[in-house]
């Protein structure tokens, strides 16, 4: 019950910000193009600050030598999830772009925006580093192949090139890891500024979700039946399969916990963030965000209680 209540409390905190975003749009307090500004602020500043700060603090030779196996497990999870995503997407959409959205949604959950917030809120900063090491392969996929697939073909950066890998989040991982390993001294005010910016990531991500959802009719977003099935697959079926397989293989309990945290989150918020940043169609992503995030208020506490 302690795990359940702690997780449920964290979910309510996040959804308070989502409701705030909805209210700000619904009442016209902020202009409609606010979502573009927030999404770019998230992907170019706030998430990189959170990633850099965590890697700078915890990325040491000792930690990496102890936790390199997390990267191996994370890589296997990413590859298997991608295959599953490609397979399932064919049953959920015929349109090429919509298939890519479903492929992305089944391949990766909202392990970054919400996953980081849930792990940090429940387990603390030290476990967040383990989680980021574990999800590093997922991050590399998301901000390379995944990013390219979610950008409309008519927009810049829609094709996979080396430039796609040179994005703020990947670079913040690299620089944070290097600075942490060599013990590069940073001014105290700069560390505080980076840490403070990273702390804004989760609230603004949920405000962005609520803000974008408010652009659409709730009735329209909730009438697509296949998204309910996709949400159940993402929130319950896939995490249970992964966890049970790992338990049968007698995998370390920490790896099982990290796997659950990475796979039991809602459908990826990037299906809203990246199309919004490039003025693409955010309707499918908004529908997925609304339904799966609402369902996750119940499913995540239950999953954590059962398997952690």
Is 12:297 a contact under the CB 8 Å cutoff?
A: yes
Neighbours of 228 (CB within 10 A): 13
DSSP string across 17-36: HHHHHHHHHHTTSS-TTHHH
Cβ-Cβ contacts under 8 Å for 167 (sequence gap 6 or more): 43, 143, 147
Burial of 64 (0-12, 13-18, 19+ CB in 10 A): middle
Nearest to 35 by CA among 208, 202, 201, 151: 208
Give the whole-angstrom CA distance, residue 168 versus residue 174.
10
- The pLDDT assigned to 154 comes to 59
Phi-psi region of 250 (alpha: psi -120 to 50; beta: other; left: phi over 0): left
What are the average pLDDT values for consecutive 10-residue runs of the chain, which has 308 residues?
77 88 93 84 88 85 86 94 94 86 90 82 84 87 77 58 71 89 92 92 84 82 88 96 96 94 86 69 80 91 90
The pTM of this model reads 0.82
Q: How many structural domains comprise the chain?
A: 1
Q: Over the stretch 65-109, which tens digit does the pLDDT of each residue have?
A: 888 899 999 999 999 999 999 999 999 988 887 888 899 999 989
pLDDT at 164: 63
Which domain range does residue 73 map to? 2-307
């Amino acid at each position: 019950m302690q795990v359940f209540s702690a997780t449920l409390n964290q979910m309510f905190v996040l959804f308070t910000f989502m409701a705030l975003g909805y209210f700000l749009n619904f009442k016209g307090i902020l202009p409609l193009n606010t979502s573009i500004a927030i999404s770019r602020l998230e992907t170019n500043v706030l998430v990189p600050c959170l990633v850099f700060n965590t890697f700078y603090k915890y990325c040491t030779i000792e930690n990496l030598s102890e936790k390199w196996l997390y990267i191996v497990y994370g890589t296997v999870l990413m590859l298997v999830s991608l295959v599953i995503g490609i397979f399932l997407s064919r049953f959920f959409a015929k349109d090429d772009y919509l298939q890519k959205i479903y492929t992305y949604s089944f391949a990766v959950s909202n392990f970054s925006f919400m996953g980081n917030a849930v792990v940090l809120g429940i387990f603390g900063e030290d476990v967040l580093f383990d989680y980021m090491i574990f999800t590093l392969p997922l991050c590399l996929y998301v901000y390379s192949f995944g990013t390219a697939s979610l950008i409309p073909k008519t927009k810049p950066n829609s094709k996979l090139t080396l430039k796609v890998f040179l994005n703020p989040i990947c670079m913040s991982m690299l620089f944070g890891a290097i600075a942490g390993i060599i013990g590069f001294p940073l001014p105290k005010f700069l560390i505080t500024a980076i840490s403070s910016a990273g702390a804004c990531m989760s609230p603004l991500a949920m405000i962005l979700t609520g803000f974008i959802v408010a652009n659409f009719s709730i009735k329209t977003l909730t009438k697509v039946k296949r998204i309910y099935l996709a949400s159940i697959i993402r929130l319950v079926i896939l995490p249970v399969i992964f966890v049970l397989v790992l338990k049968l293989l007698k995998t370390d309990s920490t790896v099982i916990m990290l796997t659950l945290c990475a796979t039991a989150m809602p459908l990826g918020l990037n299906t809203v963030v990246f199309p919004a940043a490039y003025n693409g169609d955010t309707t499918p992503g908004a529908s997925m965000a609304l339904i799966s995030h609402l369902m996750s208020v119940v499913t995540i506490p239950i999953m954590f209680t059962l398997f952690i």
